């Protein structure tokens, strides 16, 4: 990739982020009456549900704080981040320290789940916001919440199991990958290295228990000791999760200067692309069965926005580190397919849910699951990496 291509791609991503994505979330998402963020919008940005996703109170706070910290000290971004902070602190924590999953527009609790993903995104948002605002209370809340997450992970705080453990004991990839990402966000925002040993254990768990090199796949669910499970759950591969995990692993490998972690992450990237790419219609499948048996998820062959945003960054990162032509070719393929099918050139942002053939299944712009995170995060990370690539090309 020559310097002209690097600069052209950077300009394209900047236009996508600052002209076609962010302005819509900044205009429509903030709740001016109660603070926090709405995310449930139809194609034309009409609000169809005023209930709030707790995930996106943390995710939105992270994004707008990250923009303020890493792009420009723009007051609008800090004010928007503060809106999420104020709402999250006032309404999203239960009396036991755990967080809700869904609340009303004015903060009344609706749903609470056994998973700790609300907490993870809150920690990321609080840490980044503390850096932007110099608010020590936000940082303390981030650290205290993460300590609680460790207690949940290590079993000191009990949660209701998904599967009756006396019958079958399983563990999901999503937990160690999310914890690793949370540590990296804390470390980047605050400079804290207190959780480096724990992060190393998480990397070990991912690579030793979930990654099966002989089957050329990173599995979604394994037994308690990493055993391969002969069931639809045990055969399931989620290409998007696998590819997202890749760049978390690469970031950790770079931080530790550990080439072995990076090498294994790149293997997982290769395998995930080969398994997940639809050879007939293009795009990444949502789920696949490693043995080509019927997946249990009825939406298995849909094309969702977020796996493609993760692939865009993971592939650029892989090319940046290796210079291998195959990663540039894969990047071009994913880039062309994604912007051809997901981008809404009329009303901005991306569609989230496509049929297998790439036609739009649901034209919403946001929901409890889709909001200001995966697409803007990917665009922002790509822009920053392309800046490094431009500098390197200039020096050479």
249-284 pLDDT, tens per residue?
A: 999 999 999 999 999 999 999 999 999 999 999 999
* pLDDT value at 382 more than 80: yes
Question: How many CA atoms does the CB half-sphere of 367 hold within 13 Å?
Answer: 10
Where does the pLDDT of residue 160 fall: very low under 50, low under 70, confident under 90, or very high at 90 and above?
Answer: confident
Residue 165: per-residue pLDDT: 84
Domain covering 30-160 in this structure, CATH number:
1.50.10.20
Residue 162: per-residue pLDDT: 81
* pLDDT value at 393 more than 90: no
| pLDDT tens for each residue of 186-209 | 999 888 889 999 999 999 999 999
Average pLDDT over the chain reads 96
Task: Spell out the SS3 assignment of the chain.
Answer: CCHHHHHHHHHHHHHHHHCCCHHHHHHHCECCCCCCECCEECCCCCEEECCEEHHHHHHHHHHHHHHHHHCCCCHHHHHHHHHHHHHHHHHCECCCCCECCEECCCCCEEECCCCCHHHHHHHHHHHHHHHHHCCHHHHHHHHHHHHHHHHHHCCCCCCCCCCCCCCCCEEECHHHHHHHHHHHHHHHHHCCCCCHHHHHHHHHHHHHHHEECCCCEECCEEECCCCCCCCHHHHEECHHHHHHHHHHHHHHHHHHCCHHHHHHHHHHHHHHHHHHECCCCCCECCCEECCCCCCCCCCCCCEEHHHHHHHHHHHHHHHHHHCCHHHHHHHHHHHHHHHHHCECCCCCCECCEECCCCCEEECCCCCCCCCCCHHHHHHHHHHHHHHHHHHHHHHC
């Amino acid at each position: 990739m020559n310097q002209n291509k690097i600069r052209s791609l950077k300009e394209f991503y900047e236009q996508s982020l600052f002209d076609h994505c962010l302005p819509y979330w900044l205009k429509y998402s903030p709740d001016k009456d109660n603070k926090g963020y709405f995310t449930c919008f139809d194609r034309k940005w009409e609000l169809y549900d005023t209930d709030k996703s707790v995930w996106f109170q943390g995710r939105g706070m992270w994004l707008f704080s990250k923009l303020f910290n890493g792009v420009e000290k723009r007051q609008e971004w800090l004010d928007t981040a503060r809106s999420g902070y104020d709402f999250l602190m006032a309404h999203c924590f239960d009396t036991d320290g755990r967080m809700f999953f869904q609340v009303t527009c004015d903060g009344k609790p609706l749903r609470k789940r056994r998973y700790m993903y609300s907490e993870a995104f809150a920690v990321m948002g609080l840490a980044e916001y503390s850096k932007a605002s110099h608010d020590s209370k936000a940082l303390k809340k981030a650290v205290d919440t993460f300590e609680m997450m460790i207690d949940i992970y290590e079993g000191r705080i009990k949660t209701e199991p998904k599967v009756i453990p006396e019958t079958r004991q399983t563990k999901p990839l999503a937990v160690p990958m999310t914890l690793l990402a949370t540590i990296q966000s804390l470390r980047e925002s605050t400079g804290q290295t207190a959780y480096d040993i724990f992060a190393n254990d998480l990397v070990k768990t991912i690579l030793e228990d979930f990654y099966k090199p002989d089957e050329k796949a990173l599995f979604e669910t394994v037994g308690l000791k990493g055993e391969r499970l002969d069931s639809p759950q045990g055969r399931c591969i989620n290409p998007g999760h696998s590819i997202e995990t890749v760049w978390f692993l690469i970031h950790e490998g770079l931080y530790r200067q550990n080439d072995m972690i990076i090498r294994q992450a790149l293997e997982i990237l290769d395998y995930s692309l080969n398994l997940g790419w639809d050879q007939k219609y293009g795009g990444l499948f949502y789920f696949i069965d490693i043995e080509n048996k019927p997946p249990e998820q009825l939406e298995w062959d849909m094309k969702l926005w977020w796996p493609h945003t993760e692939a865009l960054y993971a592939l650029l990162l892989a090319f940046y580190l290796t210079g291998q032509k195959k990663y540039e070719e894969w990047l071009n393929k994913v880039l062309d397919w994604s912007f051809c099918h997901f981008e809404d050139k009329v009303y901005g942002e991306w569609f989230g849910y496509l049929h297998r053939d790439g036609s739009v299944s649901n034209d919403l712009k946001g929901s409890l699951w889709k909001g200001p995170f995966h697409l803007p995060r990917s665009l922002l990370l790509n822009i920053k990496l392309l800046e490094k690539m431009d500098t390197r090309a200039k020096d050479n």
